[in-house]
Homo-oligomer: A and B are copies of this chain.
Amino acid sequence: MAQHNLQQTISLLGRTPAALDALLRGLPETWTLCNEGENSWNAFDVVGHLIHCERTDWMPRARTVLQFGETRTFEPFDRFAQLRENRDKSLAPLLDEFARLRSDNLTELRALNLQQEDLERRGRHPALGVVTLSQLLATWAAHDLTHLHQISRIMAHQYRETVGPWSIYLGVLQCAGHSS
Dominant secondary structure at the A interface: helix
Q: How far is the CA of A141 from the CA of B128 in the complex (A)?
A: 39
**Quick one: given A11-B27, A131-B164, A163-B135, are A172 and B156 in contact (CB under 8 Å)?**
no
- Write out the residue numbers on chain B whose beta carbons fall within 8 Å of the beta carbon of A24: 15
Closest B residue to A130 by CB, please name it. Answer: B165
Interface residues on A, range: 35 or more
Q: Is the CB of A155 within 8 A of B30?
A: no
Q: Establish whether residues B162 and A138, one from each chain, have CB atoms under 8 Å apart when the complex forms.
A: yes
| Cβ of A81 under 8 Å from chain B | no
Given the complex of chains A and B, what is the CA–CA distance between A175 and B156 in angstroms? Answer: 15
CB distance A174 to B166 under 8 Å?
no
